[in-house]
Amino acid sequence: MFETLTREADDPLLALTPLFKADPNPAKVDLGVGVYRDDLGRTPVFRAVKRAEALLLETQETKAYVGPEGDLAFIEAFWNFVAGEGRDAAGVQTVGGTGALRLAAELLRRSGSSRIFLGTPTWSNHSAIFQAAGLSVVTYPLFDVASQNLLAGEMMSTLADRAQPGDAVLLHASCHNPTGAVMDDATWAAVTEMILRKGLVPLLDSAYQGFGTGIESDAAPLRRLLDQVPETIVAASASKSFGLYRERTGAVYATSPSPATRDKLKSHLVTVGRGSYSMPPDHGAAVVRTILTDPELREDWRTELDEARQRITAMRAILAEGLSPLSPALAAIATQQGMFSLLPLDERRIIELRQRSGIYMPLSGRINIAGLNSGQAPGVIAALRAHAARG
């Protein structure tokens, strides 16, 4: 029976890592994989995470199951981190932000939603997650690579013309992956108004809080939307903001003004999780809970996250200055936010950059700004300019 299977394609982003590893070029640069790197090219464990882990090692008394909804104190503290204090939601701990998106999609389907609107380009896994849960994905162009402009008009006209009551709309809460494009306050207000007018459900994907302009300011648009739209879903990841990638830590939250509805929402989220993996893992959530509820650890974590963001901002400024002679539109790299920007390069040039200069990025042209350090930046800029000059 298994012989009838056809092979699935490898994820092109994950396939980049072995290619990079196999390249003997000593000056090679990995701008592909989506993790934060410091100026020495490491993805360090946050100091506060190490200290929280030491505390947990000393104090943890059992490995008994955490319960189907996960660590309750984590769910609350993480919600306060994302949504601020004083907002009610039905929350469940998930297997990373990906698990949160999957549970969100299942909840949408169980609530009678059958479609989700997705601006493209977007995180390469979004469509797969929503389709796996049985939602149809409707895409619309959200970013023009050549001009580096966010296509807010396309988003508004697509939603106006095609969205039906009960449809879901995916919004990146901050630090858009893969474009870094910033949705301004007027566009957030317009899309919020559209969601209310047409009876749509926003699904906010929050995976990079703290990497844009700050922990609080990155969450401000999401929080304003929560204040105005009664029924929302938030899928939140701790992978980047706490550097816990492999611990698979996240949570999904659904809001409703009615406590009885929130109770029903939670029961559905728990049921979907129970039928998929029974219970979430403990460790990452216990670390985040420990950090967020200890003022000293929290302060230290915040300092380190601030430093990571400042490093990315500094790299953005250097790249923008170095690349804007190629195209004035690339000056936007300086004001885009988060780890990623999308370069207007065709596949031929991207492969040439790998082969001749050891610069690795996926064929989409997405670069992880945090993959670059100050020592490598001049060489990467020079190579990009040289390849462009070659035509």
Q: Which range of residues in 5-13, 93-101, 254-262, 322-330 is near ligand PLP by CB under 6 A? A: 93-101
Structure tokens at 137: 């994905």
DSSP secondary structure of 222-252: HHHHHHH-SSEEEEEE-TTTTT-GGG-EEEE
Q: Name residues whose C-beta falls within 8 Å of residue 303's C-beta, 6 or more positions apart in sequence.
A: none
State how far the Cα of 178 lies from the Cα of 366, in Å rounded to an integer.
Answer: 6
Contacts of 292 by beta carbon, 8 Å cutoff, 6+ apart: 77, 78, 80, 81, 298
Residue in the shown chain whose Cβ atom is closest to ligand PLP: 96
User: Does 174 interact with ligand PLP (rule: CB under 6 A)?
Assistant: no
Task: Find the binder of ligand PLP among 29, 118, 135, 207 (CB under 6 A).
Answer: 207
Residue from 167, 205, 218, 282 carrying the catalytic annotation: 205
Q: Is 210 in the site for ligand PLP (CB under 6 A)?
A: no
Three-state SS for 72?
Answer: helix
- Contact (CB, 8 A) for 253 and 90: yes
Question: 207, 251, 308, 370: which is the annotated catalytic residue?
Answer: 207
Could you tell me the smallest distance in angstroms from the CB atom of residue 237 to ligand PLP?
A: 3
Q: Smallest distance from the beta carbon of 5 to ligand PLP, in angstroms?
A: 26
Q: Environment class of residue 62 by beta-carbon count within 10 Å: exposed (0-12), middle (13-18) or buried (19+)?
A: exposed
The answer to whether 123 is a known catalytic residue is yes
Give whichever of 158 and 237 is closer to ligand PLP, judged by the CB atom.
237
Catalytic site residue 189? no
Q: Which residue in 90, 168, 238, 240 is the catalytic one? A: 240
Is there a catalytic annotation at residue 198? no
Binding segment for ligand PLP (CB under 6 A), chosen from 94-102, 131-139, 140-148, 195-203, is: 94-102
Whose Cβ is closer to ligand PLP: residue 34's or residue 121's? 34
User: What counts of helices (H) and strands (E) characterise the chain?
Assistant: 13, 13
Q: Which of 29, 81, 98, 342 binds ligand PLP (CB under 6 A)?
A: 98
Contact 297/51 with Cβ under 8 angstroms?
yes
Alpha-carbon torsion angle 106, 112, 114, 120, nearest 10? -70
Of 113, 239, 290, 357, the one binding ligand PLP by CB under 6 A: 239
Burial of 346 (0-12, 13-18, 19+ CB in 10 A): exposed
Residue selected from 192, 237, 337, 364 as contacting ligand PLP according to rule CB under 6 A? 237
Is 79 a known active-site residue?
Answer: no
Q: Nearest distance from residue 125's CB to ligand PLP, in Å?
A: 7
Within positions 10 to 69, which residues make up the interface with ligand PLP, using CB under 6 A?
Answer: 34
> Which two tokens mark 338?
């988060």
d(CA 363, CA 9): 15
Residue 218 or 383 having the CB closest to ligand PLP? 218
The residue within the footprint of ligand PLP, chosen from 69, 71, 106, 205 (CB under 6 A), is: 205
Which residues are bridge partners to 367 per DSSP?
341
Is position 96 an interface residue for ligand PLP (rule: CB under 6 A)?
A: yes
> 93 vs 357, which CB is nearer to ligand PLP?
93
Bridge partners, 168 (sequence order) = 116, 201
- 376 lies in the site for ligand PLP, by CB under 6 A: no
Q: Which residues bind to ligand PLP, rule: CB under 6 A?
A: 34, 96-98, 123, 172, 177, 205, 207, 237, 239, 250
List, by residue number, the catalytic residues.
123, 205, 207, 240
